[in-house]
Amino acid sequence: MRENILNKSAEMFLRLGFKSVTMDDLAAEMGISKKTIYQHYKNKTELVEASVFHVFDSVCGQINTVCDPEISPIRELYQIKRVVREYFGDEESMAYNQLKKFYPNLFEQLMKKKYQVFVESVSDNLRRGITMGLFREDIDIFFTSRMYFSGMSSIKDSDMFPPVEHSVPTLTALFLEYHLRAIVTERGLEELNQFINEEKITQ
């Protein structure tokens, strides 16, 4: 039951918002009593925290399935983008901003954990790209990995990037291209243009 509550709450929080969903809503959706939920989670804050890190671990797990040291690091970044898009759809921005506003301490914990995983992953991606001749040898991995993390985090900020202008998936595609164009070699640029054309066809 605890796992069922966690899965359903995570789905509802992402779809409807952390603030909007009440324990009554969750109980009604699952056809159980609030008492049953409280037997596993003492309050909503504890459930939100569990849901947030459950989603984080789930996304990391799915990303790991598409990461392969043998494939092009450019292809890898596009595959990661697709995984995140399929998991969140257009709801990631709302979840990000509500978590930041209503659960700031939890938001900070999540960002620290995300930072550690993200920077390590991107740094590895950059090293492989340099080795394969797709990324320039003179790029600063420390700087570039952190700039990429900062940019990908910023595009979810609805104050900085209002949803009426661009959706998060669109901003993600634009920033990924922006990031790669700054670091690719001529050979890498040929591969990047191929992926950009593929994206246009599938849209």
Residues 23 and 116 in one domain: no
Residues 97 and 176 in one domain: yes
**Number of domains into which the chain is organized:** 2
Specify if 163 maps to a domain: yes
Specify if 59 maps to a domain: no
Specify if 47 maps to a domain: yes
Residues 7 and 44 in one domain: yes
Angle in degrees, 0-180, between the axes of helices 186-202 and 168-181, rounded to the nearest 10: 160
Specify if 60 maps to a domain: no
Residues 178 and 102 in one domain: yes
Distance CA 5, CA 55 (A): 13
Alpha-carbon distances, residue 43 vs 49, 67, 91, 163, 171 (angstroms): 10, 37, 24, 32, 35
Alpha-carbon distances, residue 27 vs 6, 9, 34, 45, 104 (angstroms): 12, 10, 5, 16, 25
Domain boundary among 54, 76, 99: 54
Q: How buried is 148 (Cβ within 10 angstroms: 0-12 exposed, 13-18 middle, 19+ buried)?
A: buried
pLDDT on residue 163: 84
Residues 122 and 174 in one domain: yes
Residues 106 and 184 in one domain: yes
pLDDT on residue 31: 96
Of the candidates 117, 112, 26, the one whose C-alpha atom is nearest the C-alpha of residue 80 is: 117
Rounded to 5°, the CA angle 179-150-76 comes to: 45
Residues 38 and 104 in one domain: no
Residues 71 and 48 in one domain: no
Phi and psi at residue 58, to the nearest 5°: -65, -45
What pTM, to 2 d.p., does this model score? 0.88
Neighbours of 138 (CB within 10 A): 7
* Averaged pLDDT in 10-residue chunks for the chain of 203 residues: 95 90 96 96 96 94 89 94 82 81 94 95 97 97 97 90 88 95 97 85 61
CATH number for the domain that contains residue 12: 1.10.10.60
Residues 154 and 121 in one domain: yes
Residue span of the structural domain in which 23 resides? 1-54
